[in-house]
Amino acid sequence: MIEVEVEDEAWRAIDAVEAIVERAAQAALGTVQGDVVVLLTDDAAVAEINGRFRDKDRPTNVLSFPAPDSARPHLGDLILASGVCAAEAAAQGKSLADHLTHLTVHGVLHLLGSDHEDDAEAEAMEAEERTILAALGVADPYAVEPD
């Protein structure tokens, strides 16, 4: 089950935002069974959580909190910041819906154990993201635009 909570109304700029998140999360889960909670909130809330749990006093696009094995079938929680995500989408020339789809897939893969701490991990995770996003009709977020 994918539970989506919209705390910041700025996310309502995306039609059917909950359905977009659910579809992206389910695609990233694939055949893995489990529950994920996704909170769509504002930059201030993400900055506070980022400061409390990661000692980084600033907002970021997405935070992933994997659940301990003892919490199964709950896999973890994702928290996304509306302002950061909207600014990134605009700067990258993509729709906010496509960026949200990408960040949801990215976050769920973190919940499943993927990471990008070194180059090999990053390449593997990005390849998996590209495959999932292509199946959802979202362009490669890592493609380099020609000058």
The gap from C-alpha 62 to its chain's centroid, in whole angstroms, comes to: 5
Tens digit of pLDDT for each residue in 47-87?
999 999 999 999 999 999 999 999 999 999 999 999 999 99
- The parent domain of residue 123 ranges over 2-135
Categorize the per-residue pLDDT at 143 as very low, low, confident or very high, splitting at 50, 70 and 90: confident
pLDDT of residue 89: 96
Asked if the structure places residue 81 within a domain, the reply is yes
User: What mean pLDDT is predicted for residues 12-25?
Assistant: 97
Helix (H) or strand (E) holding 40: strand 35-41
User: Inter-axis angle of helices 119-135 and 17-29, to 10 degrees?
Assistant: 120
Which comes out higher in pLDDT, residue 28 or 146?
A: 28
Q: How many residues does the chain have?
A: 147
* Pairing verdict, β 35-41 and 62-66: unpaired
| The pair of three-digit structure tokens given for residue 118, joined into one six-digit string | 């070194």
Asked if the structure places residue 146 within a domain, the reply is no
Tens digit of pLDDT for each residue in 77-126?
999 999 999 999 999 999 999 999 999 999 999 999 998 888 999 999 99
Is the pLDDT at 26 greater than 90, yes or no? yes
pLDDT of residue 140: 95
Asked if the structure places residue 143 within a domain, the reply is no
Asked if the structure places residue 142 within a domain, the reply is no
The CATH number of residue 73's host domain is 3.40.390.30
pTM for the whole thing?
0.95
Q: For the chain, first and last CA: distance in Å?
A: 43
Q: What is the DSSP string of 71-130?
A: GTTEEEEEEEEHHHHHHHHHHHT--HHHHHHHHHHHHHHHHTT---SSHHHHHHHHHHHH
**How far lies 38's CA from each of 14, 24, 78, 127, 146, in Å?**
15, 11, 5, 23, 34
Asked if the structure places residue 79 within a domain, the reply is yes
User: What mean pLDDT is predicted for residues 14-29?
Assistant: 98
Give the integer Cα–Cα distance in Å for 7 and 123.
33
Asked if the structure places residue 19 within a domain, the reply is yes
Domain count, the chain: 1
pLDDT of residue 117: 87
Asked if the structure places residue 58 within a domain, the reply is yes
Categorize the per-residue pLDDT at 38 as very low, low, confident or very high, splitting at 50, 70 and 90: very high
Categorize the per-residue pLDDT at 145 as very low, low, confident or very high, splitting at 50, 70 and 90: low
